[in-house]
């Protein structure tokens, strides 16, 4: 069976009115990012792996001078922040700003996090809730398992995960850019595969970072790790003596809700961003909150 035939699926997701299905068209989700770069869609395998395990590693997305510029910016941000203009002094600025809506990021979020009625070719269907530099030398970082069991939560907290035949939804999605190499078992994030869909309470072994219940990854510099925040995960002390951890942690939420307050970049920085990137920081609500389209266009499709 070829890939197209084996992967054919037409999910039935109930739309806003009377139980008719939501029909998402190809123009409802952006095909280019704010810099005009074509969005890189997930492969069939990547989509399956992210949904099944709750996390996905894409190695070596960045390289060459682009990666070096980002490393330099992050070292300066950590060691000599005063050397960076105030409005650029965060992981929302400088060379790493383009990570916020990198084509591979938009590809995964279009599939798993976007709300199509609030998405268009000029507007992202998700928002950015947090962005931080994780700089760790040997001994830094601690163990603190959290989350898991994302399927059956009451509405009101975005740490959940929905799965329908043919479609899955991760409202709260973490994207980690590892700008330095990570050696497996030496400080990369710990993850419990499949725990976003688990329905039992976690066993005591979860408190042991060396338990086989945990998995982790090693990767070259410039790799990206995606995971749903509904997955059980944890930090762990950095033990790699060859290089420090240099990671940008970005956290995405729906456009009508979130866990933390709306993220507000420095006004001068926001002003300097391309218009589409600014939509990552818009207010979180539904009515009249899509650029270049009508929020009701996918409602009442019958
Ligand atoms: Fe977390």
CB 296 within 8 A of CB 117: yes
- Dump pLDDT digits (tens) for 102-124: 999 999 999 999 999 999 999 99
Helices (H), the chain: 3-6, 44-53, 64-79, 103-112, 267-272, 275-278
Q: What is the pLDDT of residue 301?
A: 78
Distance 228 CA to ligand 1 centre (A): 9
Question: How far apart (Å, rounded) are the C-alpha atoms in residues 111 and 210?
Answer: 33
- Dump pLDDT digits (tens) for 197-247: 999 999 999 999 999 999 999 999 999 999 999 999 999 999 999 999 999
Q: What is the pLDDT of residue 1?
A: 45
The CATH superfamily of 3-281 is q2cbj1_9rhob like domain (2.60.120.620)
Percent of the chain topping pLDDT 90: 88
Distance 229 CA to ligand 1 centre (A): 6
Distance 138 CA to ligand 1 centre (A): 21
- Dump pLDDT digits (tens) for 22-69: 999 889 999 999 999 999 999 999 999 999 999 999 999 999 999 999
Q: State the Rg of the chain over Cα.
A: 19
Distance 189 CA to ligand 1 centre (A): 10
Distance 296 CA to ligand 1 centre (A): 33
Please name which of 90, 155, 130, 109 lies closest in space to residue 260, comparing C-alpha atoms. 130
Distance 154 CA to ligand 1 centre (A): 19
Please name which of 59, 58, 56 lies closest in space to residue 193, comparing C-alpha atoms. 56
Distance 134 CA to ligand 1 centre (A): 13
Please name which of 269, 279, 292 lies closest in space to residue 96, comparing C-alpha atoms. 269
Distance 260 CA to ligand 1 centre (A): 13
Lowest mean pLDDT among 12-21, 156-165, 259-268: 12-21
Say yes or no to pLDDT of 150 above 80. yes
Distance 70 CA to ligand 1 centre (A): 24
CA distances from 200 to 149, 194, 203, 207 (A): 7, 12, 9, 16
Q: State the DSSP string of 45-113.
A: HHHHHHHHHSEEEETT-S-HHHHHHHHHHHHHHHH-GGGS-GGG-STTSGGGGGGTT-HHHHHHHHHHT
Question: How far apart (Å, rounded) are the C-alpha atoms in residues 119 and 165?
Answer: 22
Average pLDDT over residues 255-260: 94
Cross-strand bridge partners of residue 136: 245
Distance 187 CA to ligand 1 centre (A): 15
Between 209 and 11, the more confident residue is 209
Distance 251 CA to ligand 1 centre (A): 9
First-last CA distance in the chain: 33
**Left if phi > 0, otherwise alpha if psi is -120 to 50, otherwise beta: which for 196?**
alpha
Structure tokens that stand for 161 in this block: 């995960």
Please name which of 287, 290, 283, 289 lies closest in space to residue 262, comparing C-alpha atoms. 283
CB 42 within 8 A of CB 114: no
- Dump pLDDT digits (tens) for 168-206: 999 999 999 999 999 999 999 999 999 999 999 999 999
The SS3 call for residue 223 is: strand
Kindly report the CA angle at 174 between 26 and 40, in degrees rounded to 5? 35
Distance 206 CA to ligand 1 centre (A): 15
CA distances from 4 to 7, 51, 108 (A): 5, 18, 19
Question: How far apart (Å, rounded) are the C-alpha atoms in residues 141 and 239?
Answer: 10
Question: How far apart (Å, rounded) are the C-alpha atoms in residues 179 and 181?
Answer: 7
């Amino acid at each position: 069976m070829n890939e197209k035939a084996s992967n054919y699926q037409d999910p039935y997701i109930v739309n806003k009115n009377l139980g008719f299905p939501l029909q998402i068209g190809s123009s409802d989700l952006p095909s280019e990012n704010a810099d005009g770069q074509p969005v890189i869609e997930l492969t069939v395998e990547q989509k399956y792996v992210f949904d099944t395990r709750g996390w996905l590693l894409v190695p070596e997305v960045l390289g060459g001078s682009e990666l070096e510029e980002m490393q330099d910016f992050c070292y300066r941000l950590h060691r000599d922040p005063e050397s960076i203009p105030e409005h650029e002094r965060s992981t929302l600025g400088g060379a790493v700003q383009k990570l916020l809506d990198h084509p591979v990021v938009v590809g995964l979020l279009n599939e798993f996090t976007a709300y199509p009625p609030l998405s268009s070719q000029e507007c992202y269907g998700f928002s950015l809730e947090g962005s931080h530099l994780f700089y760790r030398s040997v001994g830094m970082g601690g163990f603190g398992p959290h989350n898991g069991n994302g399927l059956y939560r009451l509405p009101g907290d975005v740490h959940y995960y929905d799965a329908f035949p043919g479609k899955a939804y991760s409202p709260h999605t973490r994207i980690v850019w590892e700008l330095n190499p990570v050696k497996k078992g030496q400080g990369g994030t710990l993850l419990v595969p499949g725990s976003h869909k688990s329905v039992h309470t976690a066993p005591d072994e979860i408190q042991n970072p060396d338990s086989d219940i945990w998995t982790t990854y090693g990767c070259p510099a410039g790799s990206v790790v995606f995971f749903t925040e509904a997955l059980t995960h944890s930090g762990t002390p950095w033990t790699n003596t060859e290089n420090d951890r240099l990671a940008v942690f970005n956290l995405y939420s729906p456009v009508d809700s979130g866990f933390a307050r709306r993220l507000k970049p420095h006004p001068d920085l926001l002003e300097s961003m391309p218009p589409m990137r600014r939509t990552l920081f818009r207010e979180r609500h539904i009515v009249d909150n899509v650029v270049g389209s009508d929020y009701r266009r996918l409602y009442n499709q019958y």
